[in-house]
């Protein structure tokens, strides 16, 4: 995802963009207006826009449902940026576990979450972050505290190919593949 006018790297810091919603929409959102009906998915950045919401965009119902889906008319899947990044590990000034970050992203309107460094130990148990997230979501589902949204399931399934992948041996002899090899 683009970070617009901020300089901070969300891998190691929490970027903050102090522009107004009007300025952000005018400067950064034009592609979404043009492409909202053709994009299959988008990824919000872990950037805080305090004049719009105190939460990073990927944890913000205001951004994901109000602006992206509402104002901009996007109806594809939304997947979080990597939840192991520094900017995704704090919310409202408080540290988040991987499970809490996952729940915040899903509750805000993400259809899928990315945990790209899932093998790193968690601070809570010393186990793998991915295991913590899966166990926590399963427990929340059993207790009736969280349920996958049907609309999210529809958007996730829409990303899957409708035809089987071309076998590797057949792909390697296709003219388009050979031409692509020449370009790189």
Cα 182 to Cα 49: distance, rounded to the nearest angstrom: 43
Cα 17 to Cα 51: distance, rounded to the nearest angstrom: 9
Cα 6 to Cα 2: distance, rounded to the nearest angstrom: 9
Please indicate whether residue 81 is annotated as part of the active site: yes
Q: How far is CA 64 from the centre of its chain?
A: 10
DSSP 37: T
Bridge partners, 114 (sequence order):
82
Please indicate whether residue 11 is annotated as part of the active site: yes
Active-site annotation holder among 81, 82, 92, 169: 81
Q: Give the number of C-alpha atoms closer than 13 A to the C-alpha of residue 52, restricted to the C-beta side.
A: 26
Q: So which residues are the catalytic ones?
A: 11, 81
């Amino acid at each position: 995802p683009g970070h617009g006018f901020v300089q901070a790297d969300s891998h190691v810091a929490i970027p903050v963009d102090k522009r107004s919603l009007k300025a952000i929409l005018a400067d950064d959102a034009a592609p979404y207006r043009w492409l909202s009906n053709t994009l299959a998915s988008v990824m919000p950045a872990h950037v805080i826009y305090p004049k719009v919401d105190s939460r990073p965009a990927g944890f913000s119902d205001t951004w994901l449902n109000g602006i992206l889906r509402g104002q901009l008319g996007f109806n594809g899947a939304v997947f979080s940026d990597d939840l192991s990044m520094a900017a995704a590990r704090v919310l409202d000034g408080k540290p988040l576990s991987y499970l809490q970050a996952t729940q915040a992203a899903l509750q805000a309107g993400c259809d899928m979450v990315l945990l790209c460094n899932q093998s790193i130990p968690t601070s809570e148990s010393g186990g793998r972050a991915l295991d913590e997230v899966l166990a926590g979501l399963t427990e929340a589902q059993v207790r009736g505290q969280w349920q996958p949204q049907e609309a999210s399931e529809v958007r996730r399934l829409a990303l899957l190919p409708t035809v089987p992948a071309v076998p590797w041996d057949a792909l390697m002899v296709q003219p388009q593949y050979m031409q692509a090899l020449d370009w790189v």
